[in-house]
Structure 1
Amino acid sequence: MASRLKICTLSKHSFKTAQHFLIKAGNICVTASLPKSYILGTLPNKPMEITGVITYIDLSGGFWGILGTDGKKYQPSSSLPKEYQQEGLKIRANLSPSQSFSIHMWGENVQINKIDKL
C-alpha cells in the first residue's frame, strides 16, 4: 500500500523568494525549498548570461555550484563536467532556469546551456 504524501509549510518569512516544505511519507521526512516562481507556475524560460566562480558546497552529500558575480547562487541541475569541478575556477555561462527538484536547498536550480573558463 502506497503512503500518502503530506506537505506542510515550514517557513513563511522567506516567501518573497522561496517556500520551504517538509514532505512526510510514512516514517520518512524530506525538507525542500522551491523558488516562488516554481510554486506559482511562472518560472521564466529565458536564458541568462552570467560570470562567476565554481565552488564546492559540502552540504547534503556535497555538490558543485556557481557563485555569480551578481551575488546569486546557481545550482546546476546535472553534474558539472569534470574539467569545471575546480574550486575558485572563473567561468562565463549561459544558463536557463530549471524546474528540477533538489534536496540541497542552495541557490537557483539551473540548466547549463554553455560554459567556458575565463
Structure 2
Amino acid sequence: MAIIHVASNKLEKYINKDKVVLLNFSATWCGPCIRYGEILKQLDEELGDSVQIVKIDIDKYPKLAKGFNVMGIPNSRFYFNNQFEQPFFGGSLKKLKEEVLRIKAK
C-alpha cells in the first residue's frame, strides 16, 4: 500500500475502515519529520497490507492539525474500528510495528 499525502481538508476520504490508519502530521522543513518519514516508508514496505499511512502537511492543512490538537511535529495518531487512538510518539520501526499489531488485536 502506498503512503497517501493528504490533498484536502476532508480527512474522511483517506480513512480506510478495513485497515489500521496511521495519520502522520509533519512539515517539509522539519528535520525530525524527514527522518521519521524514512521509518514510515520502511513500515509501509513491511506492513503495507496491514496499515495505511496518511501524511498531513501542517503548513498546507493547519485546520486538520488544530483539530487533532497537534502542538509539535512529527505527531502521529492511529485510527481503527471507527475510533482514533491517543497520539503516538515513538520513533523506531519496531515500536510502530508493535503498535499496529496491538491495535489490530483489539
What interval of TM-score do these two structures reach, taking the shorter chain for normalisation?
Answer: under 0.3
Larger of the two Rg values belongs to structure: 1
Give the TM-score normalised by the residue count of structure 2. 0.27
- Greater helix proportion: 2
Give the TM-score normalised by the residue count of structure 1. 0.26
- Greater strand proportion: 1
Higher relative contact order (CA 8 A, sep 6+): 2
